[in-house]
């Protein structure tokens, strides 16, 4: 069946090609997979972190540019500064804390403080599984699918 020039039988292929485009031509399984990582940053919630990190490393704010190609943004985001000595951008300092393994910390108070800091930052900057999709978001998704000829 064809709607608005889109062959719905090829939906999976369209999604595969779209994903490949977004991933800069790389196959999804060739990238570090963080799809089940509970510390996935939410781009809306993390806007300030992204802005300050880009200013720190690249001396520009991606939100102030008139045009920034997705590939350029993605490459710059993937290559933000990292340092074991703390001289790195805000996003990577927070990501380092998220992935800090506390299992070997003997001091229970210190361990609790670190885990509480992780949870506070996760709620502030990350996609939280317990968040419900709003009616506005659902309607927006319906409109998008309808615009490409897919009825849900």
55 located within any domain: yes
My answer on whether 4 and 68 are in the same domain is: no
The C-alpha atoms of residue 95 and residue 76 are separated, in whole angstroms, by 16
My answer on whether 109 and 67 are in the same domain is: yes
- Per the structure, the count of domains in the chain is 2
Residue with the two structure tokens 């506070």: 120
The dihedral built from the CA positions of residue 104, 110, 113 and 114, taken in this order, carries a sign that is negative
Please give the structure tokens belonging to residue 31.
Answer: 């990238």
pTM for the model = 0.56
pLDDT in tens, 12-62: 667 777 776 666 655 544 444 444 456 778 878 889 999 999 999 999 999
Count of CA atoms in the C-beta half-sphere (13 A) of 46: 22
pLDDT in tens, 85-100: 666 888 888 888 888 8
Give the chain's radius of gyration (CA, Å).
Answer: 19
The C-alpha atoms of residue 5 and residue 149 are separated, in whole angstroms, by 8
My answer on whether 44 and 116 are in the same domain is: yes
């Amino acid at each position: 069946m064809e709607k608005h020039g889109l062959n719905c039988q090829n939906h999976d292929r369209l999604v595969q090609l779209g994903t490949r485009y977004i991933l800069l031509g790389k196959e999804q399984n060739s990238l570090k997979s963080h799809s089940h990582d509970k510390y996935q940053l939410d781009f809306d919630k993390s806007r300030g972190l992204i802005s300050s990190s880009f200013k720190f490393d690249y001396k520009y704010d991606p939100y102030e540019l008139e045009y920034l190609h997705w590939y350029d943004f993605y490459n710059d985001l993937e290559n933000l500064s990292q340092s074991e000595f703390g001289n790195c951008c805000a996003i990577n300092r927070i990501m380092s804390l998220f992935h800090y393994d506390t299992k070997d910390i003997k001091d229970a108070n210190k361990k609790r403080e670190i885990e509480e800091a992780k949870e506070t930052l996760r709620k502030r900057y990350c996609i939280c599984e317990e968040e419900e999709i709003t009616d506005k978001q659902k309607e927006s998704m319906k409109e998008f699918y309808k615009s490409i000829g897919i009825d849900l």
